[in-house]
Copies of this chain bind each other. A is one copy, B any other.
């Protein structure tokens, strides 16, 4: 590429007026199951910003719903699970994912690849720990008490749950790559809540299983979680080609932790985008300077685009990254 590539987690979403328009009257889960709508939403930020990648519009609970989990995405709350998982018998409600159950994903990816031309499409799935937290807590959780209680107090049940989720996730990612996605991002939203020893013992094996199961596809595997400064090297070792970094860790320090064999993605603080053009420019330059010596850098935010972000500010960031890194 002639410059440092740049895209934004959640670049397709509530910050865009054209997104809010096409989502009017359409629930989140429904919007994730209609190929034309997925395609339109995924393309919107590519058209508007000229970002260097599209990220497949979906939600981490889509594969859970596809295997039959009774859940809904409640506006202002997040995913809510009708019957949380608490015991061995509950695992029966988590069968393996039949690729045919997500044919709308396959179809949307094919439509997107045809539309995108040279712009790569990044496929997307939630990681086993994050999915398990929703399933065990019954919804979003600040402290993950029930999840950690199962993880530490019932390690056999926990391991079986995560192993099942790893298999489901691997199928969901494989569908996207086989339909033409050029890269795959495994998103472990809540991994930053874990102590490193707990991550190693109780979470990393399942994430590694997912990443190993898609290794033969030959597409780069991106692995990200927010607040994961202490886990960066482990998330790389789990089998990532690119490790996502949040804004709390300077890129140069992240590179030291991850080592020279993997590229890094990140890490502008999404809240900085509210501080006015001069502050935004300075922060973009700081990220580029901190990442200057890296063997591979994909510019991104350190977490998803916040809903009240001004799209003009994101356009400014894209232009500045491109202009500053022309080779």
Contact = CB atoms under 8 A, between A and B. Distances in A.
Given A143-B306, A270-B143, A275 B195 contact: no
Contacts of A296: none
A148 B275 contact: yes
A152 B230 contact: no
Contact of A152 (B150, B253, B272): B272
B195 A248 contact: yes
A261 interface: no
Contacts of A248: 192, 194-196, 227, 229-230
Contacts of A153: 274-276, 278-279
B229 A143 contact: no
Interface string A243-265: 00001111001000000000000
Contacts of A292: none
A196 B250 contact: yes
A178 to B, nearest CB: 36
B197 A286 contact: yes
Contact of A275 (B149, B193, B196, B272): B149
A250 to B, nearest CB: 6
Contact of A276 (B146, B149, B279, B308): B149
Interface of A is mostly: helix
Contacts of A308: 145
A250 B152 contact: no
A156 to B, nearest CB: 13
A269 to B, nearest CB: 6
A116 interface: no
Interface string A128-166: 000000000000000111111111110000000000000
A283 interface: yes
A274 B145 contact: yes
A143 B278 CA distance: 20
Contacts of A149: 271, 274-276
A194 B227 CA distance: 11
Interface in A20-66: none
Nearest to A309: B145
A143 to B, nearest CB: 5
A262 B253 CA distance: 24
B230 A271 contact: no
A144 B303 CA distance: 13
Contacts of A152: 272, 275-276, 279, 282-283
- Top 9 closest pairs, chain A to chain B, by CB: A152-B275, A152-B279, A153-B275, A149-B274, A153-B276, A148-B271, A145-B274, A149-B275, A145-B271
21 contacts: A143-B270, A143-B306, A144-B271, A145-B271, A145-B274, A145-B308, A147-B271, A149-B274, A150-B275, A151-B275, A152-B275, A152-B276, A152-B279, A153-B274, A153-B276, A193-B271, A195-B269, A196-B248, A197-B250, A197-B286, A227-B248
